[in-house]
Structure 1
Amino acid sequence: MIDFRYHIVSIVAIFFALGAGVVLGAGPLKGTASEVVAAQADKDRQQLADARDELTQLKALDKYRDDYVAKVTAGLTHGKLANKKIAIVTMPNADSDLSDGVQAELEKAGGVVNTKVALDAKLFDPGQRQLVESLVNQLVTADMDFPKDSTTYQRAGLLLARGVAAKEEGKTADADSTKVISGLTGAKLLSLKPSQITERASLIVVIAAKPPTPTPDNSTYNDAVDFIKGLDIGSGGVVVGGTPATAADGGLLKALRSDSEATKIVSSVDVADLPAGQMTIVFALVEQAGGKAGQYGAINAKNGVAPSAVQIKDN
């Protein structure tokens, strides 16, 4: 057992050490310690200044790159989508700035965004699956042909496509498309701008939302991927645009690109937040209109930076 004398000795030792530290601090080591601290502070300040300068340079280079694309190469997309009617479909919680940036590039290319559809989180809520299935059965039109073994959400995507799009240009709204839109908006599964459409689109751009926190499993997006496949089947083509984060684990593009059936028909671009990526969406839509699909961008994009038709061929 530790006795009282042990405690007394320990306490004395502590005070002795403290006293020695005070004496040394006030004595011959005082200057040396201060100089070391001052030197380290100067070094830290210089490293911080260097880091700030590097960040400023990186931002300047990023701005130069984006300005160059926007002001020098932007003409490459002019007229590529002339008179094409396009619907923009935003996934739940998608960034409105991302959507607006993509829309501006589509319009520069001559496209006409005549419909904007905002999907509600309720649409993909597992608890609402029966509601979605019921609506699909209620709203199906006589001219709709569901693929064999199609899923509930693939049929739901095809249904929305019937409401706002068609495989060919020049299709106007009709009684069936009006019924479909009224049913889906009435159930608060989505909202539409304008609330009534006169012309249906032939092409669709889907805007992906950044992954939530904590990062979900990729299988969380199975219904969304099926929905997008349905949109493609019922239209002239679909391109999904997102940021690099959406192409990493836990993102919609990652899930889409992991579905071999989806990548055969749906295109994706994972740098839609950059001017170059927005231009690539234009090129991908042109490719979709020709019946081809590809996965483009910077993160595991198996088809490169853009469709081969606009890439310079290697000598």
Structure 2
Amino acid sequence: MIDFRYHIVSIVAIFFALGAGVVLGAGPLKGTGSDIIQNQANVDRANLVAARDEINQLKALNKYHEDYEAKVTAGLADNKLNGRRIAIVTMPNADGDETNALADELEAAGGQVTVRVALDAKFLDPGQRQLVEPLVQNLVTADLDFPQNSTTYERAGMILARGVAAKDEGRTADADSTRIISGLTGSKLVSLKPSQVKDRASLIVVVAAKPATPAPDNSTYNDAIDLIEGMDQGSGGVVVAGTAETAKDGGLLKALRSDSDATKIVSSVDVADLPAGQMTVVFALVEQTTGKAGQYGAFDAKNGIAPADVQVKDN
């Protein structure tokens, strides 16, 4: 057992150490602590300056890349879509500026954007399925041939495509397409600009929205992917345009690219907010007219940066 005398000795030793510390503090070690802090502050300040310089350099390089794409490589997609009519379908909350930039690129490539279709959030809301299912049944046309075991949203995609698009060029609006558009807009599931379609498109660009926060599970997009597959089957081809966020977990492109059936027929581009990505959307549309599909961009894009036909061949 430790006795009382041991406690006294220990306490005296502690006070002696404290006293020595005070004396030394006034002696040769005075300021050592503050010097260390000051030196660390200087190091941190230098690191911060270096980090800021690096960020500014990266911003300058990024601007150079964007300016180069927009000004030097501008025109690479010119005339690629001559004679092609395109419908743009925007997912709920899709970015308006991105959509406008894509529309401008499609027009610059010689295409004609015939209509912009904005999907309302309730179209893909599981709680609204009881509205979507009977509407799909009511809007079926005699010339629609649904695949066996097709889902409600796959059929909905084919019906939407029948309203604004066709598999071939040169198709105009008819009684069936007008009835479909009236039914979809009347139920507030979609809105159109312009509100009336004169010429039906042959190609469709779907603009993905950035994922919500927190990011949803990839299975959340199952209905959306079925809808997109249906639009592809009812048109001459579909390209889904998105950004980096959409190609990561919780994004539409990530879910699409994880569906082997969808990637056989639907193309995607994950850098559609960049000039080069917008041109890639054009190239992917052209490829769609040949019956091919590919996944392009910078993030898990298994087919590379762009269709092989527009890339420089290795010697």
Same fold (TM over 0.5): yes
Separation (CA, whole Å) in 1 of partners of 2:301 and 2:224: 20
Alignment match, 1:219:
219
**Farther off after superposition, 15-24 or 82-91:** 15-24
Q: What letter corresponds to residue 63 of structure 1 in structure 2?
A: K
Separation (CA, whole Å) in 1 of partners of 2:25 and 2:114: 77
CA apart distance, 1:17 = 8.8
Deviation per residue, 1:41-83 (Å, 9 max, x gap): 1111110000000000001111111111111112210110113
Separation (CA, whole Å) in 2 of partners of 1:18 and 1:284: 76
Alignment match, 1:191:
191
Alignment match, 1:179:
179
- The 1:15–1:303 alpha-carbon spacing in structure 2 relative to 1, beyond 3 Å, is same
Alignment match, 2:6:
none
Alignment match, 1:40:
40
Alignment match, 1:105:
105
Deviation per residue, 1:100-146 (Å, 9 max, x gap): 22112111111111211111110111111121110011111122111
Q: SS of 1:51's equivalent?
A: helix
- The 1:23–1:156 alpha-carbon spacing in structure 2 relative to 1, beyond 3 Å, is farther
Alignment match, 1:161:
161
Q: What letter corresponds to residue 125 of structure 1 in structure 2?
A: D
* 1:249 and 2:246 aligned: no
Q: TM-score, normalised by structure 2?
A: 0.91
**Farther off after superposition, 18-27 or 133-142:** 18-27
- The 1:159–1:32 alpha-carbon spacing in structure 2 relative to 1, beyond 3 Å, is same
CA apart distance, 1:33 = 2.4
Alignment match, 2:94:
94
Separation (CA, whole Å) in 2 of partners of 1:196 and 1:178: 8
Q: SS of 1:305's equivalent?
A: coil
Alignment match, 1:135:
135
Separation (CA, whole Å) in 1 of partners of 2:143 and 2:91: 27
CA apart distance, 1:14 = 10
Matches within 5 A, 1:63-102: 63-102=63-102
Matches within 5 A, 1:235-274: 235-274=235-274
Separation (CA, whole Å) in 2 of partners of 1:163 and 1:68: 39
Deviation per residue, 1:185-224 (Å, 9 max, x gap): 1111111111112111111000111121222221111110
Separation (CA, whole Å) in 1 of partners of 2:311 and 2:261: 25
Q: What letter corresponds to residue 54 of structure 2 in structure 1?
A: E
CA apart distance, 1:165 = 0.6
- The 1:289–1:37 alpha-carbon spacing in structure 2 relative to 1, beyond 3 Å, is same
Separation (CA, whole Å) in 1 of partners of 2:212 and 2:190: 20
Q: SS of 2:56's equivalent?
A: helix
Q: Which stretches in structure 2 are left out of the alignment for 5+ residues?
A: 1-10
- The 1:14–1:172 alpha-carbon spacing in structure 2 relative to 1, beyond 3 Å, is farther
Deviation per residue, 1:207-246 (Å, 9 max, x gap): 1111212222211111100000000011111000111221
Q: SS of 1:204's equivalent?
A: strand
Separation (CA, whole Å) in 2 of partners of 1:27 and 1:125: 74
Separation (CA, whole Å) in 2 of partners of 1:17 and 1:181: 88
Matches within 5 A, 1:53-72: 53-72=53-72
Q: SS of 2:263's equivalent?
A: helix
How many residue pairs are counted as aligned between the two chains? 308
Q: SS of 1:178's equivalent?
A: helix
**Farther off after superposition, 236-245 or 28-37:** 28-37
Separation (CA, whole Å) in 2 of partners of 1:59 and 1:182: 47
Q: TM-score, normalised by structure 1?
A: 0.91
Q: SS of 1:292's equivalent?
A: coil
- The 1:146–1:37 alpha-carbon spacing in structure 2 relative to 1, beyond 3 Å, is same
Separation (CA, whole Å) in 2 of partners of 1:18 and 1:115: 82
Cα-Cα RMSD: 2.3
- The 1:33–1:134 alpha-carbon spacing in structure 2 relative to 1, beyond 3 Å, is same
Alignment match, 1:314:
314
- The 1:90–1:20 alpha-carbon spacing in structure 2 relative to 1, beyond 3 Å, is farther
Separation (CA, whole Å) in 1 of partners of 2:182 and 2:23: 85
CA apart distance, 1:27 = 5.3
Separation (CA, whole Å) in 1 of partners of 2:157 and 2:23: 80
CA apart distance, 1:258 = 1.5
Question: Identity percentage over the alignment?
Answer: 74
- The 1:294–1:17 alpha-carbon spacing in structure 2 relative to 1, beyond 3 Å, is same
Q: What letter corresponds to residue 263 of structure 2 in structure 1?
A: T
Separation (CA, whole Å) in 2 of partners of 1:219 and 1:176: 33
CA apart distance, 1:34 = 2.5
